[in-house]
Structures are given as C-alpha cells and as structure tokens.
Structure 1
Amino acid sequence: MLTIAIVGTGNISHNHIQAYLQFGQRCRIVALVDIYPEKAHEKKARYGLTDARVYASHQQMLANEHDIDIVDVCTPPYVHAEISIDALHAGCHVLCEKPMSASLEECDAMIAAQQASGKTLSIIAQNRFTDAFWRLKAALDSGLAGKVCHAQVDSFWWRGHSYYDLWWRGTWEKEGGGCTLNHAVHHIDAIQWLLGFPSEVVAMVSNVAHDNAEVEDLSAAIFKYADGALTQLTASVVHHGEDQKIIIQGEKARISAPWQTFASVSADNGFPQSTNDTRREAEINAIFQQTPMLEWTLHAGQIHDLLQSIDNARAPLVDGVQGKRALELITAIYKSAITGAVVALPIHPDDPFYRTGGTSALAPRFYEKSASVANFSEVGAISLGKNLDQGI
C-alpha cells in the first residue's frame, strides 16, 4: 500500500484528500504538513485520518518519515519547486498542484530532479480527466471535423473582492500572477493537449475589479500555430456565472465542450445552406458517445492515473514536461502583455522571463495589495468551475 504525505492543507487539499480516500485499498495518508499546523489538525479530525502525523514543514516531515511513497504538494505556487525537488531527492514520487512552479527555470529544475531520481512527477490538470474533454479529444482526433482553423477558449471565473485579501494571493512574488496563471491554467493545459503547442503568442492583461491586488483579473490572448490556425483565450475572475467553454472550429465541423457539433454545407455562392451535413454530425456524435466514460474524474481521475503509473512503471498523463508547457504559454502571455510584442515560442533560458523572479520583476503592479488575511474561515472545498459534461 502506498503512503501519502499532503503538504499544504488549505482549501484545495479537500479535493486531494477526498480522492485518496476513494482508493483506500491502494494508498493511505500518513502525514499532513502546514505552516499553520492547526489547519492540518482540522483536516486530520474532519477526515478521520487517525494515523496521520502533523508537521509544520516539509523538511521536518521528510526527515522523520522514511517510508513516504508520494508527496502531494497543495501549497501556494512560490514553494512548489522547492518542496517537489526536496521530495524527489528524498526518493518520493510527487503530485504537484497547478501551476507547476513560479518560473520555467524552476520547471526545468523539477524535471531534472525527477529524471535524476527516477521517480514520478505529475502536475495537476484535472480537467483532462473529465468526460467532456476526454470525449472532445476523441472526436477531434477522429479527423471528422477536418483541419483545425480556430479555437475559442473562455476561462470565465468569478471571485469576490475579498478573494485577494488572503496573504499570498494577488502578489507577483507569492502567487506568480493572477487569473491567467491560477485559473486559466486548466483551460490552457487543455487546449495545448488538444491542439498542440503554438508558435506565437500576443496578449493584453488588465485589472478591472480587484483594487486590492497587484495582479491581473482579466486577460485576452491569441495563439498562432505553425499551420496558421488561431486560438483566442480569455482568462477572467470577473465573469458572473463562470460560463466556461472550448469551441473548436474545423474546416468541416464545429465541436465543443460543453458538447455540440455543427457541420455547415455551402451553397453554390458560398453562403451556408439551411440544412447541415447531418451525416457528418451523426458520425462525430457517434465518436463522442461511443468513447467510454471515465471510471474516475477530476482529481480522483488524476490520482488514479498517478497510482496506475507508479504500479506499471510508466509516465503519468500529465508529467513535468506537460506541466511546463502550460506554464510556458502563460509566461508568453505575460511577456507579450508586458513588452507589447508578439512572443515567439519556445522561451529560452537566456530570456529574463524564463528565470525565477523575472516576470515578477518586470510585471506591472495594478494596485497595492491592501489586506493580508492569514486564513479564511473554510466553507468547504473550492469551486472547480462549471461542469462541462453537459449533453453526455
């Protein structure tokens, strides 16, 4: 049975703990770590983790626990790399929350530590483990929609003004960025998983509703691919209703999450006819519906994949390289917005935006952070956004 240490017991740790408890025959949580140990004790009592020992630092935990198999990192982003690298060097597998780290330099250090240790490193991208995206990818990969021309990604979230009062949020140094980094990362990972890595990025960022944060609460970006296709992405924490979607326009049909397919037919003059290509729509729908539903979804789905990868000595679906790709696109968005230039990918190690602290040093401070709350009272697990599995 695999042993688990949870490092960071804030709101997102609920999703991790609940997921591990679903695999009670395969793993057990034996350590909880938090710089506020009372939070770890609360999780221990809430979930009946009677065998779990509580520590105030990951260093203390690693020094005392010699049989940990997986270190699960649920801390703020600025310490993801340090904790993950220490755990890998200690001979542990690592599951790290998004975003992978605070810089591409740290991503490469994490990947190097994983390669040197021979252990598994997986980065949370739980939206890949939804039936909506799993089936959308199957429909896309079938080729029935034709060559991809355009994608629309709406990563719409809503957070109240007080959201950025938490001590580490809303600062470039501690959070690493705003909604682009910590909310749209899910959809950015998903679109690069679906369409591949673009060649150029251009973007703008703004703060329109949170004057207690240095970072952006709204951004808009365009990705250009080598074949000329474009993706437009909006990241936001100002959209009431959190209406999230990915729409992919192929030459022959549109497909999307939430699921919809539409195949236009051209009249002789090039305008769309009133009747669609219903045969193509039916074939695409069949691919979507016949793709088996996942046994485990969201965090449970990714943890299941991690456990399977360890058992079978294979790479996880979202490894360190995949985690870095999402952060590289986010870094390109910030670089373009800050410099006003079109950014060519990849971003190289001699680029100031590659290095740890580079984006923070160059980024605009939209507002001064005006409050610093140590901890919010918990009201349950955090929102993971709208369910995209409509129509399944």
Structure 2
Amino acid sequence: MRKQRIAIVGTGGIAASHARAVTALAERAELVAAVDVDLGRAKEFADKWNIPATYPSLTDLLAADRVDLVHLCTPPNSHVPLAVECLAADVDVYMEKPPTLSLDEFDKLVAAEEKSSAQVACVFQQRFGSGAVRLRQLLDDGVLGRPLVALCNTVWYRDDAYFDVPWRGTFDVEGGGPTMGHGIHQYDLLLSILGPWEKVTALAARQARPTQTEDVSMALLTFENGAVASVVNSLVSARQTSQLRFDCANATVELEHLYGYKNPDWTVTPAPGHEEIADAWSADLPDVPSGHTAQLAAILEAKTAGKPTPVTLAEARNTLELAAAIYASAFTDKPIRRGELAPGTPYAQRMGGPGAPWSA
C-alpha cells in the first residue's frame, strides 16, 4: 500500500501535534513538505521532523510537489482560502479548528468541496479515542438505554499574557473566545454522542481577561432525541479540567481529563439491575488515546477504503452552528433553534454578530 504524502502548512505550535501523528503512522504516511510564510521557521520545523522540502506558500507547494493530504495549521482566518486552493487542486485537507470564522464562510467551503474530487476533514480529535467509540457503540446498541442528561465542562485557565498574541481573543481573526477556540472540542464530542441539537439558551461574559470576546460562556441545550445538556466554556478557572457526563436510563458514563483522554479517564456507573454494563464497557476495549494520531488513522483508513474522511464538513457544520447559536443567544438574550441562523443574517456572517455587549 502506497504511503500517503503529507504536507503541513503553518509550522506554529499546533503543527508539532500533526507531525507527531504522521510520524506515529509512518507505515501509512510520510511528511514530504513544510510550508510557512516565515521560510526560516519552516526550515527549522523541517529539520526537527526530518521533512525533505520547505516552501514559503501553499501555491508554491502545489506547483512543485505531489501531495495527497494537506494539514492546515494556520490561524483560523486563513483556513477557507487555503482549503479552497487545495480543493481546486483536488488535494484532500485536514483542517485545524475552528474550521471557519462563520457559518457563511463555512458554506463557501462546502460549495468548493462540491466542485472538487477532494474532501475536507476537520480536526475534532476527541471523537476518536476508544472510550468515545465504545460509548457511541453502546448507545447505538441500546445497552445504555436512552440518554437523558449530559454535562459538558471545559474549564481552563489562560492568563492575561496569553492574549498578547494579536489575533487571540478576537472575532475577526480567531472567531471568538473559549466557545470557539477551546470548548469546541468537548462539545463536538458531546454532539457526536447525542446527535443533532435542537435549541440552545446561552449567556456569555467577559469576567477578567483583556479580550474583545467572552472569557466564559454557558449554555443549555435540548436535542432531537429528547436529551438535555449544559455546556460551560471558561478561561478563568484555576483548576483546569475537561469533563463530560452522560446520564442514561441504564448507566452514567463520565470522562474527566484535560487536553486528551485515555481509557482510565472514563468511569461507568451502572444503574441498579444493570450491573452487566460494566463488563459490556470493558470487554476487549482497545487502548486508543484521543488525539490527532487517532483521527489521522481514521482518515487514512477512510482514504484507503474510498469513504468520506472523518470529520466531514456536514458533521463539523452541526458543531460550528452550535457555536454561532451560543453567541446569538447570549448576545440577543433569546433561545436559538438549529437552522434559525439563515445565510446572510448577522450571526451567520460573524460569530459575534454586531458585537459583544461590552464592545459598545
């Protein structure tokens, strides 16, 4: 089986996670190029990861080298033009979060993908650890019973200096605060478990940080399957943790970690009379941590099989629409239903709509 030729575009901090994932899957993929507008930084990155070629732009890469998959690790405001350029060249894309800065921009990406033979996969790596895979399996098989209540907390800490990077904490370049840039991984995992959301009621606040966006948001969700959930995203929480809890008819399943989980981070508490669920959870459970490596492995398997590369744009849009709806609900002080944010309306054009209340 031919190895997939992979290029990394943008060699800042998150690029190392992508390089590590490709290296871990060396029997199926190889890094062939690094791209950065700062060519010196690209060469330094290439030396570290033994990458043979460097380029100052994606255009130069596509003109000079054959690649099967481009990992986009650039700031969020550059994702769409770079992804569209890859799609025009029929090259698959694995794109960091958040995929786009708005729903309208996302739909432009969908239109570009429809014209291409290539596909875009969005980085939502928390879906791919073995615990999340087992949880979806047991819910699909009816073992856990109907999902009833869920909690999703991404309560992290970022100090004032974190926002010294010019594009952080802005709607126009980063797309938002912790709702877009931090908690999105956890509630994407929540949505991958519970399916399409139906309605959200939210609030957002700027409690402490020097940012144009929120540093805290809280939301109440209802789902098409009848489940209800709360979602908290924070950057002002000294004891950092990421938590998910699913109370189902037959058991409670909980996850607590920080930036990535392994099997021991999950606990299962069967309801009385359903003790067999503990065995169903642990029976032959693979030991696959969440992370870029797990998702990239799934992408490479899908490419080999000729199947859609996970996470597809259709799946990612459900998550991004929730982010937009949280802002819309928080800033307009009213509930928002899925599908309500029509193209061209303020919160489809921009996550923060006309702007946060504190920006006036």
Q: TM-score, normalised by structure 1?
A: 0.84
- Taking structure 1 as reference, are residues 231 and 297 closer, same or farther at Cα in structure 2, changes over 3 Å only? closer
**Residue in 2 that maps onto 1:354:** 348
- TM-superposed deviation, 1:310: 1.3
Residues 240 and 131 from structure 1, CA distance in 2 versus in 1: closer, same or farther, beyond 3 angstroms?
farther
Separation in structure 1 between the aligned mates of residue 151 and residue 330 of structure 2, nearest angstrom: 19
Q: Which residue of 1 aligns with 2:64?
A: 64
Corresponding position: 1:106 with 2:105:
yes
**Alpha-carbon distance between aligned partners in 2 of 1:361 and 1:334, rounded to the nearest angstrom:** 8
Name the CA distance, whole Å, in 2 between partners of 1:295 and 1:192: 20
User: Contact 1:72–1:95 (CA<8 Å) still a contact in 2?
Assistant: yes
For normalisation by structure 2, the TM-score amounts to 0.91
Maintained 8 Å contact 1:34/1:40: yes
What is the identity, as a one-letter code, of the residue corresponding to 2:355? A
Counterparts of residues 166-205 of structure 1 (less than 5 Å): 166-205=165-204
Consecutive unaligned residues in structure 2, runs of 5 or more: 256-264
> Aligned runs of 1:287-302 on 2, under 5 Å?
287-290=280-283, 292-294=285-287, 297-302=290-295
CA contact (8 A) 1:136 1:256 kept: no
Distance 1:76 1:107, change over 3 A: same
CA separation of 1:149 and 1:178: change in aligned 2, threshold 3 A: same
What is the match of residue 269 of structure 2?
A: 262
The one-letter amino acid of 1:121's match is V
C-alpha distance after superposition, 1:127-185 (max 9, x if no partner): 11212322332333332332222111111222222111112111111001000101111
Q: Secondary structure at the match of 2:281?
A: helix
8 Å Cα contact 1:185/1:326 also seen in 2: yes
* 2:136 is the alignment partner of 1:137: yes
Paired amino acid for 2:268? T
Q: Distance in 1 between matches of 2:179 and 2:299?
A: 26
Would the alpha carbon gap of residues 215 and 128 (structure 1) be closer, same or farther in structure 2, given more than 3 Å must change? same
Measured on the aligned residues, the alpha-carbon RMSD in Å equals 2.0
Residues 1:344 and 1:11: Cα distance change in structure 2 (over 3 Å): same
- The higher-RCO structure (CA 8 Å, 6+ apart) is 1
Q: Name the one with the larger strand percent.
A: 2
The answer to whether the 8 Å contact 1:136/1:259 transfers is: no
CA–CA distance in structure 2, aligned partners of residues 17 and 126 of structure 1: 15
Deviation at 1:350, TM superposition (A): 4.3
Q: Aligned residue for 1:74?
A: 73
Counterpart in 2 of 1:272?
none
- Do 1:150 and 1:229's aligned partners in 2 also have CA atoms closer than 8 Å? yes
More deviation in 336-345 or 111-120? Answer: 111-120
Give the match for residue 54 of structure 1: 55
Q: Distance in 2 between matches of 1:231 and 1:297?
A: 22
- What CA distance in whole angstroms lies between the structure 2 residues aligned with 1:329 and 1:8? 27
Residue in structure 1 matched with residue 8 of structure 2 by the alignment: 6
Name the CA distance, whole Å, in 2 between partners of 1:143 and 1:193.
16
Runs of 4 or more consecutive aligned structure 1 residues displaced over 4 Å after TM superposition:
294-297, 365-368
Counterpart for residue 279 of structure 2 = 286
CA distance in 2, matches of 1:354, 1:177: 13
Name the SS of the counterpart of 2:153 in structure 1. strand
Q: Tell which structure's C-alpha radius of gyration is larger.
A: 1
Aligned-partner Cα distance in 2 for 1:359–1:288 = 38
Q: Which amino acid aligns with 1:52?
A: A
Supply the AA of the counterpart residue of 2:59.
Q
Check 1:252–1:309 CA distance in 2 against 1; reply closer, same or farther (3 A cut).
closer
- 5+ residue gaps in structure 1? 265-276, 369-392
